[in-house]
Chains A and B, each alone.
Chain A
Amino acid sequence: MRIRKGYTAAYLLILVLGLSSCMEGLPEVEDPAPRYFIPTLAASLQQSTFPQPESNLLSEEGVLLGKTLFYDPLISANGQVSCGTCHSLELAFGDGISLSAEGVSGKPLHRHAPVLFNLAWNEGLFWDGGSRNLESLIFGPLTHPDEMGANLNETIAYLNSSGNYPEMFYRAFGTDSITSAAIGRSLAQFVRSILSQNSKYDQWKSGENALNSLELQGYQLYQEHCKSCHTEGLFTDLGYHNNGLDASFPDPMELEGLYLGRFRISFADSDLGAFKTPSLRNIAFSAPYMHDGRFETLDEVLDHYRSGIQHSHSLSPALRAGITITDAEKEALKAFLHSLSDYTFITNQAYLP
């Protein structure tokens, strides 16, 4: 038995050698399998896993395709608006405008363009969490008539006939059929891959840097007054709260419940006027603030919490009495918030075309 096995192995070896010598001279066939990867996470994000859907795991090829689409204005209705138009890396992928009118229709939007980073952990996207995952979210801005206004069938025709796209789709998804789903998935991969985790705060947490005394005082104040919603790590609880911006919530027919906040998704009374807690990370880059960009500066934001809270039945219980801090404490808090600025993130060439 042993002897027979030995012979078989030798025979196979000869066959393989013979084949490989035959194959010399043929063009090299590259392995088309996507190279999957999981990003390395800083401990200071306080996340043990990187969540991603089984049906759309991050790959080098998927992220590259998503990034290429992200910066391509030709996928929009008029060929002039890309995702990058309203999501600029130097502004933490925000746009610095309260309500942008940069879309294909030129009409101002009703909500402020959100910053994009550390989104893998979000279970709801948009300010009211209406979108359940990045794969689905993409079709919102891509097709909305006041944003990119794309007709998906025309976008697919453009991609099929243009440059490297068919091959990029093939490399990312193993099929040369370009579908709406594949567009959504590749853009979702790029956006999910965007991480910000190297601010002064992160460096302090890992022992590479130190916070000064004002920043440390601000950190204490943050823990006392902000942490219940802006949970340390991601600096958001990923939840929805009515933070007292308005006392009433009009519901004009044409806006489909836009001012009702999370209520229009959950139909829960407690969610009336509630919007998603934004991360405090990169807050110095992401002005103006709130879901409608109504506050221009961090001072205005902090003054809102000190003295501007509007009362209604759904107001977050934590804000009933506002946040009581002195002017000096406000400066300390702002110093800490600036330590959450991640300069390596906003200059990361990997996120640029």
Chain B
Amino acid sequence: MKKIVLIATLLGSLWACDSNVDPLPTSASVTFNFTHLINGEEFDLENSMMELPTGEVFTPNKFKYYISNITFTNTSNQETYTLEDGYYLIDQAGQKSFSFVIPTAAYDQLSFYVGVDQERNLSIDQVGDLDPSNDMVWNWNTGYKFLVLEGEWQYGESVREGLIIHIGNNDPASTINFREITFDLNQAAIDLERNSEVNLDFEAELSALFDAPNEIVIHELENTSIMGGEWAIKVAENYQEGMFTLK
């Protein structure tokens, strides 16, 4: 009986504390929103004419990519949280946002990868966003395309031609284009310690795929179908470097 009284007293005191101070939430619902731009402008697939950095007029008709291995880090104490089983397909013609729940903490850094890690890329009999019906699997090689951009380009008076960029490989080591992208959460004034609902708004600038660190001049390419090898690596370096911005 004494014990019960003690517990009741303890609970009562906790309750009292509760009503005095606003507690920190233990978890936060995080939403990633992606906006796709060409030269800072939003665009529609099929009917936009955009000028690329090297002068080509480009009409995109497909743009999609995977985001995975999302990790939040508190760099001062190295506490990290990695989202398990988080593979999200972002599609200019479809899903451009997704949500998940994480434990709150004073994270100041966020990273994610474009693509699918080697372990999950070894087989495509998967469900959810990795379902092979999502038009993101290779049909002659096992694995996922990490990023797809397709469209038509024209340079000056040249004939309109197709541009096909299918990037996706993490084996052998020399061809890895599964790339990590890191963001400073403090700089973006994102507080994942005190908020229970957080929106992260990302912009992805397509022209950055052709820009830096590797300049890719479409009208000078021998082959405007980039699906592997050194040009795929260059594109991957570009999307790692400058495509995404956290607003």
Residues of A within 8 A of B (CB): 53, 55-56, 126, 128, 130-133, 135-137, 139-140, 143-144, 151-153, 156, 179-181, 184-185, 188, 253-254, 256-257, 264-268
Kindly list the 3 A-B residue pairs having the minimum CB-CB distance in the complex, ordered from nearest: A152-B133, A135-B125, A130-B141
Q: Which residue of A lies closest to B224 (CB)?
A: A253
Interface centre among B140, B174, B223 (most CB of A within 10 A): B140
Nearest Cβ on chain B to A54's Cβ, whole angstroms: 12
Q: Are A133 and B123 in contact (CB under 8 A)?
A: yes
Q: Are B172 and A185 in contact (CB under 8 A)?
A: no
Cβ contacts A to B, 16 pairs, < 8 Å:
A126-B140, A131-B140, A133-B142, A135-B123, A135-B125, A156-B133, A179-B131, A180-B125, A181-B127, A181-B131, A253-B223, A254-B225, A266-B172, A267-B174, A267-B228, A267-B229
Q: Are B141 and A131 in contact (CB under 8 A)?
A: yes
**Across the interface, which residues of B come within 8 angstroms of A140, CB to CB?**
139-140
Q: Are A185 and B125 in contact (CB under 8 A)?
A: yes
Interface centre among B125, B131, B223 (most CB of A within 10 A): B125
Q: Are A253 and B132 in contact (CB under 8 A)?
A: no
Question: Contact flags (1/0) for B119-159 with A, using CB distance below 8 Å?
Answer: 00011111100011100011111100000000000000000
Q: Are A256 and B227 in contact (CB under 8 A)?
A: yes
**Across the interface, which residues of B come within 8 angstroms of A131, CB to CB?**
140-142
Q: Are B133 and A153 in contact (CB under 8 A)?
A: yes
In Å, the complex CA distance between A267 and B139 comes to: 18
Interface range, B side: 20 to 34
In Å, the complex CA distance between A46 and B165 comes to: 45
In the complex, chain B residues 165-205 whose Cβ is within 8 Å of any chain A Cβ: 172, 174-175
Decide yes or no: A130 and B142 within 8 Å by CB, A56-B125, A253-B225, A264-B228 being known contacts. Answer: yes
Nearest Cβ on chain A to B170's Cβ, whole angstroms: 13
In Å, the complex CA distance between A156 and B174 comes to: 38
**Across the interface, which residues of A come within 8 angstroms of B225, CB to CB?**
253-254, 256
In Å, the complex CA distance between A53 and B133 comes to: 22
Q: Which residue of A lies closest to B225 (CB)?
A: A253
**Across the interface, which residues of A come within 8 angstroms of B139, CB to CB?**
139-140, 143-144
Q: Which residue of B lies closest to A187 (CB)?
A: B125
Q: Which residue of A lies closest to B126 (CB)?
A: A181
**Across the interface, which residues of A come within 8 angstroms of B131, CB to CB?**
152, 179-181
**Across the interface, which residues of A come within 8 angstroms of B141, CB to CB?**
130-131, 264-265
In Å, the complex CA distance between A133 and B143 comes to: 11
Decide yes or no: A184 and B132 within 8 Å by CB, A131-B141, A132-B122, A133-B142 being known contacts. Answer: yes
Beyond A254-B225, A267-B229, 6 extra complex contacts between A and B, CB < 8 Å: A132-B123, A135-B124, A136-B142, A143-B132, A152-B131, A267-B172
In the complex, chain B residues 84-143 whose Cβ is within 8 Å of any chain A Cβ: 122-127, 131-133, 137-142
Q: Which residue of B lies closest to A264 (CB)?
A: B228
In Å, the complex CA distance between A153 and B125 comes to: 14
In Å, the complex CA distance between A130 and B127 comes to: 21
Interface centre among A130, A256, A266, A268 (most CB of B within 10 A): A256
**Across the interface, which residues of A come within 8 angstroms of B127, CB to CB?**
179-181
In Å, the complex CA distance between A299 and B138 comes to: 37
Nearest Cβ on chain A to B188's Cβ, whole angstroms: 37
In Å, the complex CA distance between A131 and B132 comes to: 14
Q: Are A184 and B124 in contact (CB under 8 A)?
A: yes
Question: Contact flags (1/0) for B222-239 with A, using CB distance below 8 Å?
Answer: 010101110000000000
Decide yes or no: A257 and B133 within 8 Å by CB, A126-B140, A180-B125 being known contacts. Answer: no
**Across the interface, which residues of A come within 8 angstroms of B122, CB to CB?**
132-133
Decide yes or no: A132 and B132 within 8 Å by CB, A184-B124, A256-B227 being known contacts. Answer: no
In Å, the complex CA distance between A139 and B135 comes to: 11
Q: Are A139 and B228 in contact (CB under 8 A)?
A: no
In Å, the complex CA distance between A137 and B125 comes to: 10
